[in-house]
Structure 1
Amino acid sequence: MSETAGVREVKSAARTVELLELLAARGDRPARLQELADELGVPRSSMYALLQTLITRGWVRTDTTGSLYGVGIRTLLTGTTYLDSDPRVRLVRPYLDMASGTLGETIHLGRLDGSNVAYLATRESHEYLRTINRVGRRLPAHAGALGKALLAERPDEDLSEGPYEPLTPRTHTTRDALAADLAGIRARGYAIDREEAVTGIAGFGFALRYDTPAQDAISCSVPVTRLTPEHEAEIVSVMRETRARIESATAPGGTVNWR
């Protein structure tokens, strides 16, 4: 049994979290009882009892036949509370509005979550052709502008050996290729993603250095069909200024410094 800060892990709590994370990772693909039992290595009867407990409390939902399972509405309510209570998210949101209004493009706030980046806030472009990334979405950090901006704030020794998952034909899939890109990001001061995460979409990511190392980053996403050299220069200028304004802003007093 694993330990955290000298305290033994509670097996039932760990299993509950593992189940919810497994269901969340499946997205719009509901799971069957046996699939969940096999994936987590627990008896079918134990998994059924756990599912029924979570269904009763709203953390898991099931279909009309009682044979398919997915995350319940309580997961949404908890996630919303996380965003509403986070002082960094509250601080950054108005600046996302300003950047989106100036550029007319989609602006994101993301946070490093292990080897992924989670989207915490998004302001969508009003253009007919636009990028769409929902809050709560997670992408591999090696593949997009948000993630690469944050990886560049860390030593290359922290990178996993790879190979990395390819999301498009342009995704960096080797450690050497990613490290070379991160070196360029450090020299340039921001990350560029040219169709590495989504085909047809370019991104420009800027780490927010109000934490050391940076945990959060902002980015601007734009369809490559609308990306002229002049527009790219405008995006970089506005996003640099936006980062500077966020970093110089003072968070409201009395907030908790979450780790």
Structure 2
Amino acid sequence: MSEPGGVREVKSAARTVELLELLAARGDRPARLQELADRLGVPRSSMYALLQTLIAHGWVRTDITGTTYLDSDPRVRVVRPYLDEASQALGETIHLGRLDGRDVAYLATRESHEYLRTISRVGRRLPAHVGALGKALLAERPDAELPAGPYEAATPNTHTSRDALAADLASIRARGYSIDREEGVAGIVGFGFALRYDNPPLDAISCSVPVARLTPGHEGRIVAVMREIRAKIEGASAAAGGAVHWR
């Protein structure tokens, strides 16, 4: 007989414990997503979701590059070399994020050569209206899909009303990329570019730079480099066989 609460809930709790025990037994040896899924006999998508939850709550950490558990994601594998290229060209922090409901999950990060530290880390989730990644992806969708608001404010510059966000999204569509001027983190400006290998796009890349280092010339170079990187990623994805439905 099923116990109160339902068998699915008990199995989920047991799977979480089994995963934590498996990781603890490995010590400092990293594990890949597919390896963990195989060991516990669960779908890769389920393992990914479970790991992301544990990462977000601080029970599991990624390796120094922040990509240990995402190596089996074909999108991340395609994008990763281009994140390195953008980081080397610009010397700024580069992110890859994925829209998941009303949030953006950070899938990969390359830190600034200047050792800039922002709040965004792999496994972290932020509301899509807050930063460059999320706004770039929201702009690829009709405004009718926006929630009514008011929205949570991360800084005094965050758009907290539907009308203000919709006006910004219209500018993003006309411009071709998003700009986050201290809306997610005080002192940080971000530039976001949707990756159109899905329709509508689910993934985006961004470049984050401190306000103190952002001159008009540097901003122009960031936009030019990130546009080129986006084109390279989309071309590489098409060459790899188009859309990958990895979930």
Shorter-chain TM-score bucket reads 0.7 to 0.9
Structure with greater strand share of residues: 1
SS of the equivalent of 1:136 reads: coil
2:141 maps to 154
Give the unaligned 5+ runs of structure 2. Answer: 24-56
Instruction: Give the whole-Å Cα distance in 2 for the aligned partners of 1:186 and 1:256.
Output: 25
Aligned to 1:222: 209
* Alignment check: 8 A CA contact 1:59 1:72 kept: no
Rounded Cα–Cα distance in structure 2 between residues aligned with 1:225 and 1:254: 40
Show the counterpart of 2:48.
Answer: none
| Deviations 1:37-87, CA, capped at 9 Å, x for gaps | xxxxxxxxxxxxx58x854652799xxxxxxxx7645x869x967511111
Per-residue CA deviation, residues 193-233 of structure 1 (Å, 9 max, x unaligned), is 00000000000000000000000000000011100011000
- The secondary structure found in structure 1 opposite 2:71 is helix
Give, in whole Å, the separation in 2 of the partners of 1:142 and 1:217. Answer: 14
Distance 1:179 1:16 in 2: 42
Residue 13 (str. 1) matches residue 8 (str. 2)? yes
- Given that residues 83 and 94 in structure 2 are in contact (C-alpha distance below 8 angstroms), is that contact kept between their aligned partners in structure 1? yes
User: 117, 125, 140: which one pairs with 2:112?
Assistant: 125
Contact 1:108 1:119 in 2 (8 A): yes
Q: So what's the TM-score if we normalise by structure 2?
A: 0.75
Task: Give the Cα–Cα distance (whole angstroms) in 2 for the partners of residues 129 and 72 of structure 1.
Answer: 25
Percentage of matched positions with identical amino acids: 70
Return closer, same or farther for 1:210/1:133 CA change in 2, 3 Å cut-off: same
Matches of 2:17 and 2:6 in 1, distance apart? Answer: 20
Q: Which runs of 5+ in 1 are unaligned?
A: 1-9, 18-49, 62-69
Partner Cα separation in structure 1 for residue 22 and residue 148 of structure 2 = 36
Q: Which residue of 2 aligns with 1:89?
A: 76
Aligned to 1:183: 170
Q: Please list, as runs of the form range in 1=range in 2, the aligned pairs for 1:32-111 lying within 5 A after superposition.
A: 54-55=16-17, 58=20, 72-73=59-60, 83-111=70-98
Shift of 1:192: 0.2
- SS in structure 2 of the partner of residue 185 of structure 1: helix
Q: Which residue of 234, 240, 244 corresponds with 2:227?
A: 240
- The alignment covers a number of residue pairs equal to 208
**1:258 deviation in Å?**
2.5
2:197–2:242 contact (8 Å) kept in structure 1: no
Q: Is the 8 A contact 1:149 1:185 kept in 2?
A: yes
Matching residue of 2:37: none
Distance 1:172 1:14, change over 3 A: farther
5 Å-filtered alignment, 1:202-217, equals 202-217=189-204
State the match for 1:40 in structure 2. Answer: none
Whichever of the two has the greater Rg, that structure is 1
Deviations 1:90-128 (A, max 9, x none): 000000000100000000000001100001010111114
Counterpart code for 2:245:
N
Match of 1:258 in 2: 246
Evaluate the alpha carbon distance shift between residue 131 and residue 253 of structure 1 in structure 2; reply closer, same or farther with a 3 A threshold.
same
SS at match of 1:207: strand
Q: Which structure ranks higher in relative contact order (CA pairs < 8 Å, sequence separation ≥ 6)?
A: 2
TM, length-normalised to structure 1: 0.71
Structure 1 residues 171 and 90: alpha-carbon distance in aligned structure 2, compared to 1, 3 A threshold: same
Q: Which residue of 1 aligns with 2:181?
A: 194
Q: Say if 1:254 and 1:205 are closer, same or farther in 2 by CA, change over 3 A.
A: closer
Question: Residues 153, 231 of structure 1: CA spacing in aligned structure 2 closer, same or farther, 3 A cutoff?
Answer: same
